[in-house]
Structure 1
């Protein structure tokens, strides 16, 4: 990770080293995921900082023109600051995508490792099957004709697992957002309980006429 100052703006490169290897133990993976989550939060803070520059400069955004009708640089904005902020938002967005990809890989690896706890009894080696995952999320506000509704989610459903995410490796709702963003147009297995009955559905996030890619909300389940 390197930091430099460009046009008076501090810029940090968060790109992940290609030489980084996933940890091989459950505890190390949990620590690794925590570090990545912290890095994700820092990147988001930097994206917000540069986005604020674009809002402050006459709300020019990522696509607003930098020249006036006479083809001169606009006098009502700091063109250099806008160009720098736009470049950084693009770079940081790519960094965010990279970090979220590593988080997803680590979550899947953690999910693979945790069921493989084994025990030796009477000289025989047997696999210890994990108990049913405890619930940790609840579904609210499923909109009609939304991807969530079409996939089979309903208001009040209690989620025990979504993809590789479950209560033991869940830290906050940002983890759910990561899974959803990385699974657009892909089927994600969701284990849930509805009216006391366990079910498994294939949730497929996708763009639709409504907001977001699901059309529902999930909240942390109060124990």
Structure 2
């Protein structure tokens, strides 16, 4: 079954306290987004990669690709005013494709690995929808007004990406009108009436959001490179 990936990279540098969008920030000397795309390409070199960027940032990305001699095949399209609209625009690039499994992934999650991708794509091929998630490591409390109450953390999961779906299913789900409930692709497909299967994620699959995440990302990359040298 053919594989596709829509990599959504519409973030800004506000919480990162950076002058540029976080998907362009360098880790190990190269923009985050390039690391992310390389992971998908290493998993399946024949996969069609679609990158969704704010229209105003497309030229910046093209210049970065030229500067870093980044020639990995991918298609770029402009995003919308919301994540829902951006994913919908990404799906338009796949309009001529009939079937397969498509992953929707955050451009600032550069530490996906082959095992995680294999599980997500395989489960989606079988069940239609697979979402990567991890168990909570810390206690949580439900807050209502000025009061809070402890809740059972084993009943909850932290949702990550990639979120993988059969392409016809995701296309039909995104034909729905957008509503505030749609916080991710799983919520769109679930609203359409399809059950979501969870796939065990990884705590290394971090989303780079704050300056501390960049420090952690650099440490992960250094560890990976040292492991390769030792191997």
TM-score range with shorter-chain normalisation? under 0.3
RCO higher in structure (CA 8 A, sep ≥6): 2
Larger radius of gyration: 1
TM-score (norm 2): 0.22
TM-score (norm 1): 0.23
